[in-house]
Structures are given as structure tokens and as C-alpha cells.
Chains A and B, each alone.
Chain A
Amino acid sequence: MVNPMPDNQSHPDMSAGAGQAELPIKVQARDVCVSYSGKQALNHVSIDVPDRSVTAFIGPSGCGKSTFLRCLNRMNDTIEGAKVVGSLKIDGLEVNDKSVDPVVLRANVGMVFQKPNPFPKSIYDNVAYGPRIHGLALSKDELDAIVEDSLKKAGLWDEVADRLNHPGTGLSGGQQQRLVIARAIAVNPEVILMDEPCSALDPIATAKIEELIDELRENYCIIIVTHSMQQAARVSQQTAFFHMGNLVEYGTTEEIFTNPRDPRTQDYITGRFG
């Protein structure tokens, strides 16, 4: 592979800059480093992600996008040999603090994976699972309401309202992905992490998900990893470019796509490598 970047020390701007100033900072990372069994995967990443907006992570394969995403809900804890150092705050609370229960954290930070992974249970149970284990609904009616609300927010209600007890795995890929999003928002998270949510979907399903992301932006802090420049440009307000475990450039999407400062960003978005 390529040699590590020589300019590890020089950090890019960690805030997305002007125009977003009115939005409060939701996620704040300082010098986050991750290694897997001693092998460094993420180098001193510092970034401020604002609330109620969509932030896109782009970069070539293996550059550490998913790794950083997993830091935010401590899914790295479940990976053998993964070691996270540095400071990561959500709403000013240190995520990696011993006092933070990952269960509580993950209820607050939902995650949608690359491949739709509904539980092999009914559509209803898929959405109801989170509220159930967290005790969010006191009665069956309340639970029904949460399920309906989540499915509506995920734009799936109209398609599945009459077959809530059918298995979730029987839906189409795009429907499954929306079901998984509904499952994530059913526990009322504040942050939603999406790791390439559309990579297994056709353009129509992708368009639906993008539309959905745009709607969800009103209420959530959304971080999306994508390999599609167009998608990043369409759905996000901020874009961060990762390369070889470094955060190379971070700014408003418009800025990154029209006027990238780093040559590597330039090369990547114009398709010269990656």
C-alpha cells in the first residue's frame, strides 16, 4: 500500500466553518485514534459534527470511515483487539467514559448498517424490539403507536401497514433498509449513524432513502458514510474526507465539492483515485 501520510500533525479544520454556526455542536471528537490488534486504523481524528444536519463521510475503501462511526456508539467494544483512545463527546458527555453504559449510549446513537439486517421476526417485532427492551412503552397501545410512528417516519408505513406480522426478512432490500431505519428511530436516538445505507439498493430505493434522510434531518444529527459523491452532494450539509486513517478535509459540502483545499480531496472527488 501507499506510505503513511507525512503530515499527520497538521489537522484540517475541525469545524465545518461558516454558514453552520447557528447549529449547535452535537458530536465532538478530539485526537481519536483507533487500532486493531496494534494496527493503526485511525490517526488523531478531530471533528465537530453539528446537530440537525447531515454529515457525509467519504474516502477510499479502508480509510477508517466505518471505524470512526463505530467509535460513536462504541460498537468497537465488541471487536476483539480494537483499542480507542482520544476524546469523543456527544452533547459534551465523554462517550468512552467508564461511567457511560454502552446500552444507554446505543439507545441514543442509532446505527444503520450497509446490508439491511432485520431480525428474523415480524415487521412489528423488529420495530418494537428497541422500545421493549428499554421499557419505552407502558402499554400495548403505546407500543403500537411507537411502531406506527417509526414506520411512518421511515416512510414504510403505507407499504406494510396491513402485514405487520409478516416476517421482516420477507421485504425487499429497500424496504428492509427502511425497516431497519424505523427500528433505529423507534428508540428516539439523537444521533443516527448510517454506514453506506444505500450500497445494496437500486436507484429508486436509494432515492426513497435519501428523501427519508432529508426529512429526518429536521430532528436528528445524521452521519452517513457513502461511496457515492452524488449522494454525499445531494443529502449532506457537511462532508468529511478521510484518507489512510486521517481526516484530510472537513467543510460544508458545497465547499468540499466545489473548492477542495487538499489535492487528495480534489483527486478523490474527481475520481482520480479510490
Chain B
Amino acid sequence: MTDTADIPKLRQAISDHLPRRYRAEMRFRVAGLSAVGLAVAILVLLVGSIVMQAIPAFTVNQLVLPVRLESDLVDPQGDGSEASLRRGSYGRVLQEAVREQFPGVRDRRQLRTLFTLYTALNSTRLMDEVLADPGLVGETHTFRMPIADDLDLYLKGRLVQDRTLETAGRLTVAEAGRDFELTSSAADFEGLRDTVSNLLRAEAASLDTRAEQARNRAEGQTGEDREDSLYEAGRLSADADALRAEAELESGWVELSDTLPSILVETGETHLRLTALSADGRSARAESLLGDETGSELADWSLYVIDTPEARRRVSDQLIVWTRALVDRGLVSLDFNTALFANADSREPELAGVKGALFGSILTMLITLTLSVPVGVFTALYLEEYAPKNRFTDLIEVNINNLAAVPSIVFGLLGLAVFINSFGLPRSAPLVGGLVLSLMTLPTVIIATRAALKAVPVSIRQAALAVGASKTQTVFHHVLPLAAPGILTGSIIGLAQAMGETAPLLMIGMVAFIADAPTLGLEGLTQPATVMPVQVFLWSDGAERAFEARTAAAILVLLALMIGFNALAIYLRRRFERRW
């Protein structure tokens, strides 16, 4: 006890303490706010960057070509039967349709390049369209097919750095042997000449540096090594000097190579690629990539520069020119990428979609849901409400807690050994995937359910028991409904975790390229399938650039799935809570 005399002193001590308390509170709030801010910023950054990356995947440039479905090509038996239509040469039909656009292309090698404008897999799609409507045979049909993935990226401005230059003069195009000579009435090529000179100088400087390095290396060497290094240095220096000489050239021609930007001249339907620039910047030499029109004093022409040198990109100038010509003719349209959702996986990015993985995920999750939630909830109910507390149940409890911490790949091993090797279930099947993920999810569900059951106030149980409810009535009428929101949350967290797993599926063959979507039904459970996170993983490993955007798009689909899942959880929880 304190004397009354001490009271003012005590009050004073409390007041003295106050500022420090407020400061501590302030610090805590600031720390909390900044933590929240940081989390939000990271989230926005993450989702933002994924969305930015994914945007190109949601649209696709499609070639809209008139294709002539000649009967002798499409219907070899001539009876219009399905068997006959299935044996048609749809690849040829497509090739003819593309050749029709570029009749000047005759050379075999060039033709092969021409057919890389699209992937040959499109012939199957054409066949499907014909099978769906056999009346098309003999007709000219407008067929839409995605352009090759790299050209799609090019058209979206994601593959190369390019620009169109202003031209001031009138252009004269004259034939000079197999090449062409271009002259502009203004100094339209001067800027390009400077660009090329600068690049040459930069290249020369980097050669100089390498020569210097070789010389330095030689200092520390003896005998043959030294000779080699010195020789290399001399060679590099000579190359650098040659480049510099070309860059400084006052008259004559500067040769362009595939390590320098590509410069294309477009006049009407004719596309020319410059092979040399005159030192004075007024004229140039060029070769034809498409068309061979000549003319003098042309006003309508443009200079198109691809700064990324041809040697350092995946598409050639030739393909780019063809693509641009098709765009000019209005045969390319930017559409929503339905393939991304309507197709299963494919080796060709333009035809690859998430449908297979999405269906696989749905089937797998259905198995996991129907197994892990009831089994987990009832296990937890029994352990929490009925089981006697003894060593044996303690042991079970410890084991369940440990199971929750087992690395998920171990469950995959178990699945391989038990479900596939012992039970003989098929590999890569959603059924096995669901079983494995159920094993993984069970501990989470059990632990969450037990926590939710424990949180139900004793007074409610007592109330029920006191009016004469049996143990089971008490549990099912009162405890379980009160624990339901917690059970739901726990189960959904467990399922969401399972939905994002790849490792346990590795062992059971679900991490694989699977080109067909499983059917959404009972039989789909045993068909080979993969799941969304696996699709993300596989695409992120894809060689084609176009898979980058598709990876991000698949991540977005997965995220949307998760958000949908969580929204459902919140909705269900609200509904349950409102009843009370």
C-alpha cells in the first residue's frame, strides 16, 4: 500500500512517463504503417510487372488469308467422306495460300523461309474447320491463323528496335545489274551515314581495347604464347584501323553488313535493303527483298531502320519485309488470343494455351477437395472431441504436426511408390495428383479444424449438454457450425497451397508436356494432364521468346484462380457468420 502523501508523486511519475509511452506508440504505428506500405508496394510491383509482361500474350496477330480448298488437295478420295477429308493435304493448301501472296518467290530455300511465316500445325486447325463444314471443299475460305511467334512479337514492337525516318527528297531507283542504285534529291541518307560511322567508330574502339588487353597479356608471357598474343593484338589493331578508315571515308561507298542496322527502303510494293551507303549521304546501293519496281523522282517512299543488326535477332529482314507487306495489304489483324484459353499446351507458342493445365488443376483440386476436407475435418473432430487423451493419441497428434512440415516432394515419392507402383494407377493422371496433394493438404486441414474447434467457447458445449444433447448432437448442432468459418479458411488455405504445388507432381509424371486437355469429367481423372503451376514452370523454360509473355499470362490465370478461391472462402465465411 502507498501512503496518501505519495499519490501526487505517483501521478507525477505517470505523467513523466507519458511522452515516452506516446513516442513508443508513435514508433510502433510508423513501423506498422511502413511494413504495410512495403508489403503493398511489393505486391503492386510484383503484380504490375507480371501484368506488364503478360499483356502481349493476350493478343495475337493473325494472318487472315483466303485459302483455296481445292477438292483434289482436300478430298483425295473425292467422296467428301470424313475419312477422305482427314487425308487431305491441308499443309499444301496453306502453302499455296501464302505463295499466292508472294508469287515472286520461287527459290526453294526462300520458299522454305516463306513457310515459316506460320507454323505448320495450323493445317490441323484448317482440317478441323473443313471437317466441321464439309461444304467448304472447293470454295475459297478465309482462314485465320496466328502468325509465327517471333513475327507476332516483332509486330508488337517487342523483338527489335526500329524506326521510320523522315525523307525530304525525291527518290530515283535505277537498276544496276542484279542490284539497284538509289539517289535522293536531298541528303536523306546523311543521318544514316553518321549513324553507321559512329557504330564503326565504337566497334573500332572496342577492338582497340581488346588489342590493348592482348598486348598487356603478352608482357607477362614468353615464347610462343607471347608471339600469339602479339599477333592477335596486331590483327585487332589493323581491323580497328580499317573500320576507322571506313568511318572517316570522304567519298566512295561504306559497305553495310549484318552486324550493322538494317536499312530498308519501301516504295509502293517494293522493299529494298541497302547494301552500301555513299560517303556523301545522297545515294545508296540496295538489293530487292520484295518486288523490283524502278522509277525516278518518286515522292512516296520511306526509310525504315531496324537498329538491331540482323545477325543479332531471330527474324531475318526478309521475313520482316514479307510481314510488313502483309500488314500493308490488310491481311494481318490483331485479335484477342483465344488460343491461350481454348488450347492445351503446344510446342509452338502461338498455339499454346492453358486449357489443359486449367482443366488438370480443376480435376486435381476436385479430388483433393473431396478427399482432404472431409477426411481432415472428421479426423480433427474425432481427435478433438472423442478420442481419449493418452499416449497413443499424443503420438498421432505429434505425427500430424510433423506431416505438415514434411517437404512436399516426399509426398510425391510416396505417391509414386504407393499409388502408381503398388496400386497400378496411371501416371500423369489428375487422380493420382489429387491423391498426393490430399496427403499434403490433410495435416493443414486437420490442424486448422482442431484450432477452430478449440476456439468454440466451452459455455456453448455446456449449454447444449445441459439441456440433454448427446455428445454427437452437441458437436454437430453447435460446435461444428461455430467452427465452420475457421475450418473453411483453413481448408481453403490448404487447397490454395496444393493448387500452387509443382514438386510433389514431379514424381508422378504430371510435370510433362501434354498436348491434349483432359475431359472435364470422370474419365478425365485418369487421362494424362498437368496443372497450372507446372504449366508456368514449363513455359518459363521454353526456348521461344513468346513463351515469356505466356508464362506471365499463365501466372495471372493462376493468380486469378487463387483470388477466386479466396473470394469464395470469404463469401462462404460471411454467409456462415451471418446466420449466427
List chain A positions with a Cβ less than 8 A from chain B: 73, 75, 78, 80, 103-107, 110-111, 113, 115, 117-121, 129-130, 133-134, 167, 169, 180, 183-184, 186-187
Contact of B462 among A75, A80, A110 (CB under 8 A): A75
Contact of B466 among A75, A80, A133 (CB under 8 A): A75
5 contacts between A and B (CB under 8 A): A106-B466, A119-B460, A120-B580, A121-B580, A184-B466
Q: How far is the CA of A101 from the CA of B477 in the complex (A)?
A: 20
Contact (Cβ within 8 A) B459 A187: no
Residues of chain B within 8 A of A183, CB atoms compared:
463, 467
Contact (Cβ within 8 A) B467 A110: yes
**Taking CB as reference atom, which chain A residue is nearest B389?**
A80
Closest 5 CB pairs of A and B: A117-B459, A107-B468, A120-B580, A130-B467, A111-B466
Q: How far is the CA of A119 from the CA of B461 in the complex (A)?
A: 9
Contact (Cβ within 8 A) A187 B468: yes
Contact (Cβ within 8 A) A133 B465: no
B185 interface residue (CB < 8 Å to A): no
Query: Smallest distance from the beta carbon of B574 to chain A beta carbons, Å?
Result: 15
Q: How far is the CA of A245 from the CA of B138 in the complex (A)?
A: 104
Contact (Cβ within 8 A) A117 B462: yes
Q: How far is the CA of A119 from the CA of B464 in the complex (A)?
A: 8
Query: Smallest distance from the beta carbon of B576 to chain A beta carbons, Å?
Result: 11
Residues of chain A within 8 A of B389, CB atoms compared:
80
Query: Smallest distance from the beta carbon of B109 to chain A beta carbons, Å?
Result: 80
Residues of chain A within 8 A of B466, CB atoms compared:
73, 75, 106, 110-111, 113, 184
B351 interface residue (CB < 8 Å to A): no
Contact of A113 among B462, B468, B470 (CB under 8 A): B462
Residues of chain B within 8 A of A80, CB atoms compared:
389
Contact (Cβ within 8 A) A103 B460: no
Given contacts A119-B463, A120-B580, 9 further A-B contacts (CB under 8 A): A103-B468, A106-B465, A106-B467, A107-B468, A110-B466, A117-B457, A120-B460, A130-B467, A133-B468
Contact (Cβ within 8 A) B473 A133: yes
Q: With A119-B478, A167-B580 known to touch, is A75 a contact of B465 (CB < 8 Å)?
A: yes
Contact (Cβ within 8 A) A104 B468: yes
Q: How far is the CA of A117 from the CA of B457 in the complex (A)?
A: 10
Contact (Cβ within 8 A) A106 B463: no
0/1 interface trace, chain B 476-492, chain A, CB 8 Å (1 if under)? 01100010000000000
List chain B positions with a Cβ less than 8 A from chain A: 389, 457, 459-470, 473, 477-478, 482, 580
Contact (Cβ within 8 A) A180 B465: no
Residues of chain B within 8 A of A119, CB atoms compared:
460, 463-464, 478
Query: Smallest distance from the beta carbon of A261 to chain B beta carbons, Å?
Result: 34
Q: How far is the CA of A104 from the CA of B468 in the complex (A)?
A: 7
Residues of chain B within 8 A of A107, CB atoms compared:
467-468
Contact (Cβ within 8 A) B463 A130: no
Q: How far is the CA of A119 from the CA of B473 in the complex (A)?
A: 13
Residues of chain B within 8 A of A104, CB atoms compared:
468
**Taking CB as reference atom, which chain B residue is nearest A107?**
B468
Residues of chain A within 8 A of B459, CB atoms compared:
113, 115, 117
Contact (Cβ within 8 A) B462 A106: no
Residues of chain B within 8 A of A105, CB atoms compared:
468
**Taking CB as reference atom, which chain A residue is nearest B388?**
A80
Q: Pick from A73, A104, A120, A184 the residue with the most CB of B within 10 Å.
A: A120
Query: Smallest distance from the beta carbon of A59 to chain B beta carbons, Å?
Result: 22
Contact (Cβ within 8 A) B463 A118: yes
Residues of chain A within 8 A of B468, CB atoms compared:
103-107, 130, 133-134, 187
Q: How far is the CA of A133 from the CA of B471 in the complex (A)?
A: 12
Residues of chain B within 8 A of A121, CB atoms compared:
580
Q: How far is the CA of A120 from the CA of B483 in the complex (A)?
A: 12
Residues of chain A within 8 A of B457, CB atoms compared:
117
Q: How far is the CA of A134 from the CA of B468 in the complex (A)?
A: 8
Contact (Cβ within 8 A) A103 B482: no
Query: Smallest distance from the beta carbon of B449 to chain A beta carbons, Å?
Result: 19
Q: How far is the CA of A54 from the CA of B460 in the complex (A)?
A: 26
Query: Smallest distance from the beta carbon of A273 to chain B beta carbons, Å?
Result: 21
**Taking CB as reference atom, which chain B residue is nearest A169?**
B580
Query: Smallest distance from the beta carbon of B461 to chain A beta carbons, Å?
Result: 8
Q: How far is the CA of A56 from the CA of B463 in the complex (A)?
A: 22
Query: Smallest distance from the beta carbon of A217 to chain B beta carbons, Å?
Result: 20
Query: Smallest distance from the beta carbon of B110 to chain A beta carbons, Å?
Result: 79
Residues of chain A within 8 A of B462, CB atoms compared:
75, 78, 111, 113, 117
Contact (Cβ within 8 A) A78 B465: yes
Q: How far is the CA of A245 from the CA of B469 in the complex (A)?
A: 29
Residues of chain A within 8 A of B465, CB atoms compared:
75, 78, 106
Query: Smallest distance from the beta carbon of A147 to chain B beta carbons, Å?
Result: 13
Q: How far is the CA of A129 from the CA of B459 in the complex (A)?
A: 16
Q: How far is the CA of A119 from the CA of B579 in the complex (A)?
A: 12
Query: Smallest distance from the beta carbon of A110 to chain B beta carbons, Å?
Result: 7
Q: How far is the CA of A100 from the CA of B478 in the complex (A)?
A: 24
Q: How far is the CA of A258 from the CA of B465 in the complex (A)?
A: 39
Contact (Cβ within 8 A) B580 A180: no
Q: With A80-B389, A120-B482, A121-B580 known to touch, is A133 a contact of B463 (CB < 8 Å)?
A: no
Residues of chain B within 8 A of A113, CB atoms compared:
459, 462-463, 466
